Amino acid sequence: MGHIPHKTRKNDNNMLSLGQYIESNVMDTLEEPVSIQLRAGQATLHSFDTVHSSGPNQSNGPRVGLALRYIRGDVIQTKPQREMATWISGTRDEKQIHFDIEPRLPVNPTRDDINRGREAQKEAIRREELNYFSSNNGAATEKKSYS
């Protein structure tokens, strides 16, 4: 089915950064949902295109979400905004890299190093939001380099 259009609305009951949701008339066209009960400390792995949600967090601890996308170094991005990635391993051929590489923090980071990392993270999120959740389909062109 591919990417399903999302709407955004700030809502205290929605922990997503943009308050993304799928309208009920679109949800009604999808297959019947499957409920997976998770205990504290458990996680699920699923495709970016998987529609998923969760009930309210009834514990005193925070609920954490983590998105990992592991790809080969020669993957070519097709979205308008050049996204950022963390280089994990392998040979780095600059001619084949189609993402801006996020800065690595040194073993003993300074406050400036940490601030630089935070700014890079904000920029990475901005680009991702333009590519996947923006009505202008990533049309903004201003880019910063953090390599």
User: Against a cut of 0.75, is the pTM above it?
Assistant: no
Residue 94 DSSP code: G
Task: Identify the pLDDT of residue 117.
Answer: 92
Domain assignments of the chain as residue spans, ordered by start: 1-33, 66-147
Bridge partners of residue 84, in order along the sequence = 100
Residue that is written with structure tokens 């389909």 in the block: 137
pLDDT digit string, tens, across residues 94-112: 777 888 888 889 999 999 9
pLDDT digit string, tens, across residues 127-147: 988 887 766 554 444 444 444
